[in-house]
Structure 1
Amino acid sequence: MLKTLKTSFALLGCMVALPVLAQQQDIKLPPQATEFWEPVPRKVTPGAQNHLPPNDAIVIFDGKNLDNFVSAASGGPAEWTVNNGAITVVPRKGDIQTKQGFGDMQLHIEWAAPTVIKGEGQGRGNSGIFLMGLYEVQVLDSYESRTYSNGQAASIYKQHPPLVNATKAPGEWNTYDIFFTAPKFNADGMLVAPARVTVVHNGILVQHNVELKGPTEYIGIPNYKAHANELPIKLQDHGDLVSFRNIWVRKL
């Protein structure tokens, strides 16, 4: 009986060792075994400079007119001004938004705080870029003005502060390159995947694939509610003479 048990344990030991030995053996494959040739990535022609739109971009504002925007409140004509290739907020005329809706996207947009400095914190050079009209990337003169960290320039407003403060001086042009993944909902309106965003501010990574907790809320806790797969981009009238230029989008 003892001899039988010893034999059984020996066999069991061999069986346990076999997978380990198999894992340690090199698998000999030719290089071609891990190559694939389809699908072929489509060709995109970059802009002459990195801040200029590639040939597959949708140009929202090219410095000429507001034809691609409407009033966010009324749906009528956008009432901001266009001068020297830039859009400038007209206080109390309200937010403006794109006529076209977007979901997953790469957004390039440049902005400048007013040169006439007034106010402090949230009262200085305040505006915002609302992805899908709901999720705000903050625009603010944070060059030499303190405010709450999750409300300064390049923050995901009231959710994520930027990793660093890369804001340029008032009157100088800031660049945001925003990579946005829209939230996904099932047929019952339940959240399947939250929105995520990466922001590069003046060439510096300031938001690294952060998860959004829901639409932007000034007061209260964000909470997702099902919405369309594509919605307009909104620019905020917060009462300050903030300017925008060179706005283009690539759908992802």
Structure 2
Amino acid sequence: MKKIALTLTLICFGAGLMAQITDPKATEVWDPVPRKITPGKNGAAPSDAIVLFDGKNLNAWESKNEGKPAAWKVENGYMEVVARTGDIQTKQEFEDFQLHIEWSAPTVIVGEGQGRGNSGVFLQGIYEVQVLDSYESKTYSNGQAAAIYKQAMPLVNATVAPGEWNVYDIIYKAPRFNEDGIKVASGTVTVLHNGVVVQNHHILSGTTPYIGLPQNPAHGPGPIALQDHGNPVRYRNIWIREL
């Protein structure tokens, strides 16, 4: 009974305080002030972004193979996967972020399903947002373009035709692990594909393996990685904002 009485007292006390606020200025926050930035136009990087690829070189990237130089092709303002040279990743590592990346599937149609315009964007080098020519080709739904690979199918298929540019805007919050390597908070991913929400605050259940169930190995910050799946997928205009 004492606990119930105490709870009722606190509720009544709180309600009384709320009833006493009559000045609108009492709920105004003036400090701190959000810092001012210059937003980009038409997908350009805002002033506080880190530009990872501006169409000129791969200086921000390296091969996932022992940190060797990235061997993908750069021309005409884009980078292109060179088959069998391996995945590439950023030299810099990140935790929570907003990522903008544009990609284009090959115009020469080869293969079907997972063999057609396949690549991937790996958040922290671990969690894959699928890149695939899903304009007309069929595959399993949780493996098509904009899927969190083998975890979550996109809400809709917003893929444009091969040769046209797809845009991913990804908002990512990394999972957290304690000192014992136990996950204490799950990661989340929101994806806009060509301006359309296709992953709405998806809670990551773990890694995105080709075979088997998600795992949860402890980790800290990690790179952005792009996959060499053997298809000449192109990327351009890649920038990131740390959150």
Deviation (angstroms), 1:34:
1.1
Matching residue of 1:237 = 228
Give, in whole Å, the separation in 1 of the partners of 2:19 and 2:239: 50
What do the CA deviations read for 1:135-168 (whole angstroms, capped 9, x no partner)? Answer: 0000000000111100000000000000000000
Q: 1:217 aligns to what SS in structure 2? A: coil
Is the aligned partner of 1:167 residue 2:159? yes
Matching residue of 2:4 = none
Q: 1:101 aligns to what SS in structure 2? A: coil
Matching residue of 1:141 = 133
Deviation (angstroms), 1:50:
3.9
After TM superposition, the score normalised by the length of structure 1 is: 0.89
Of 180, 184, 189, the match for 1:192: 184
Give, in whole Å, the separation in 1 of the partners of 2:224 and 2:125: 5
After TM superposition, the score normalised by the length of structure 2 is: 0.92
What do the CA deviations read for 1:109-154 (whole angstroms, capped 9, x no partner)? Answer: 0000000011111010000000000000000000001111000000
RMSD: 2.0
What do the CA deviations read for 1:159-201 (whole angstroms, capped 9, x no partner)? Answer: 0000000000000000000000001111111101111000000
Q: 1:130 aligns to what SS in structure 2? A: strand
In structure 2, the gaps of 5 or more residues are 1-7
Q: Larger Cα Rg: Structure 1 or Structure 2? A: 1
Structure 1 vs Structure 2: percent identity of aligned residues? 63
Deviation (angstroms), 1:28:
4.7
What do the CA deviations read for 1:17-71 (whole angstroms, capped 9, x no partner)? Answer: x96xx78x95552111111111110111111x14000111000000001111111
Give, in whole Å, the separation in 2 of the partners of 1:26 and 1:72: 60
Give, in whole Å, the separation in 2 of the partners of 1:160 and 1:75: 31
Task: Report the number of matched residues.
Answer: 234
Q: Give the residue type in structure 2 aligned to 1:40.
A: V
Matching residue of 2:24 = 31
Of 91, 97, 113, the match for 2:105: 113
Matching residue of 2:37 = 44
Give, in whole Å, the separation in 1 of the partners of 2:170 and 2:157: 16
Matching residue of 1:205 = 197
